[in-house]
Amino acid sequence: MAVRRRGSVLEGQNEANITPLADVTTTLIVVFLITMPALLWNGIQVNSAEAGSEQAVVTPTESTDDGLLTVAVTPAGITLNGTALEPEELETELTTRLAERSEKTVVIVPHDDVILGKVVQVLDIAKASGAENLAMLNEIGS
């Protein structure tokens, strides 16, 4: 006597349910899209100045100051502590001077008549030369 099976228990479930897999994958993609720019960001952190009751005025000097690396960006050109340099020379000179220092801060003083792209180029050169901190001064009365 042969026993006949009426139907298999898994007869109605012959397809895989991929909805949970799609949900997890979508969530992971969203998490990666949100976190990757923060992980890959290698720009310049800008700390805004705190306003006080008195305005501090700093006048950059054209003489060589061993405690401060000052890069002035003027319509006439770029100067490092009063010495006129080309952008290529600026990179090598900054790299040399920053390697000798423990405090790797570069102060950039842009003139009002200079194109923004030139100032950004100097910022990039300073960062590529090894500057850990960048400061910008506004030259008053120029």
DSSP string, 39-100: HH--S---PPPPP-SS-------SS--TT-EEEEEETTEEEETTEEE-HHHHHHHHHHHHHT
| pLDDT of 103 | 82
| pLDDT of 63 | 46
Lowest mean pLDDT among 15-29, 38-52, 121-135: 38-52
User: Dihedral of the CA atoms 92, 98, 99, 104 (nearest 10)?
Assistant: -150
Percent of the chain with pLDDT over 90: 8
Q: Region 31-47: what's the mean pLDDT?
A: 76
| pLDDT of 64 | 44
- What global pTM score does this model have? 0.56
Residue 59: band (very low, low, confident or very high) from pLDDT cuts 50, 70, 90: low
Torsion-angle region of 141 (φ positive above 0: left; ψ -120 to 50: alpha; else: beta): left
Which tokens in the block code for residue 102? 């423990």
Which stretch of DSSP H or E encloses residue 101? none
Q: Tell me the C-alpha distance between 141 and 57, whole Å.
A: 11
Angstrom distances, CA of residue 75 to CA of 92, 101, 128: 22, 29, 23
CATH fit for domain 69-136, picks 3.30.420.270, 3.30.420.40, 1.10.10.10, 3.40.30.10: 3.30.420.270
Angle between helix axes 87-99 and 116-128 (nearest 10 degrees) is 40
Q: Are 27 and 35 in contact (CB under 8 A)?
A: no
Residue 104: Cβ within 10 Å count: 17
Lowest mean pLDDT among 9-13, 26-30, 82-86: 9-13
